[in-house]
Structure 1
């Protein structure tokens, strides 16, 4: 018995990385196609101080953020980066809207820390508008169901925003 499959073609799996949006103190969160999600993320404030669990390591960047328009099911996420006066990244991390469970008078706020080597160089904290919550399969992981548009890579130290 010989089995012949007609009309079968190889899968054409392609991973595409979205273009990184313009960083700012207040951004409209966008999906991988660049469409607004109806969510705004903003840096409320930031300051340098020792982390309470690692005081011997000196000052780090403590920042407060706010997500407006997010719901418990969507959980959008953006990259937050400490930058110098020329917008060069000194340290970044991804923050999720579900981390915003601030005090009763402002439950949409949250706070987090950014570890940087030279805290004296920090001039601000910026957010990148691309939603980082999408965790789709890549072609390398799943040739059949992977591929498509993926969020941009998170910035590394030294990247210009």
Structure 2
């Protein structure tokens, strides 16, 4: 058996392991925010669904070949704008971010990607406007470009990556082709 000295120190060792995150009793919990309602103009919201005071809007879009790869055919070229309602323009490394999706007439995603407010560095008269391109398999099906309001700028560590960080809220996954918006 174990000497009395080892048995006496065992409870202390269990407490140290529990406090260090090496125990399943730590209670690490990851949560994923519910995807917000897609729209041409959205109020950007944090992972709890609260507005950040930032509006993102698709200003216009059109189908055209990308100037660097015209041989690949038409892509969706869209312009977007961020408005900051009295809040700091940079909340995170690249500022607030939303997913932009080309959709068909039924609002089914044909292609999506994340756009950051830091990409909006338009002309001096409208510095918060930017543009980007979406590649879709069938550009002729595109009926519009929608934004998802969930802020995508922060992805904290998950419980699986580091149980000691206690997990936390995460934005929803970027929509995939075929998702109904």
TM-score normalised over the length of structure 2: 0.85
Distance 1:35 1:117 in 2: 35
| 1:148, distance to aligned residue in structure 2 (A) | 1.2
| 1:71, distance to aligned residue in structure 2 (A) | 3.6
Distance 1:79 1:111 in 2: 13
Structure 1 stretch 20-29 or stretch 3-12: which is displaced more?
3-12
Greater helix share, 1 or 2? 2
- In structure 2, the residue matched to 1:41 is 56
- In structure 2, the residue matched to 1:79 is 99
Distance 1:49 1:82 in 2: 14
Distance 1:146 1:110 in 2: 36
Q: Does 1:123 align with 2:143?
A: yes
Q: Does 1:152 align with 2:167?
A: no
Distance 1:98 1:71 in 2: 12
Residue among 115, 123, 126 paired with 1:103: 123
Aligned residues: 161
Q: Does 1:54 align with 2:69?
A: yes
Secondary structure at 2:57's aligned position in 1? strand
For the aligned residues, what is the CA RMSD?
1.3
Does the 8 Å CA contact 2:27/2:166 hold for their aligned counterparts?
A: no
Does the 8 Å CA contact 1:80/1:126 hold for their aligned counterparts?
A: yes
Could you say which structure has the larger radius of gyration? 2
Structure 1 stretch 117-126 or stretch 68-77: which is displaced more?
68-77
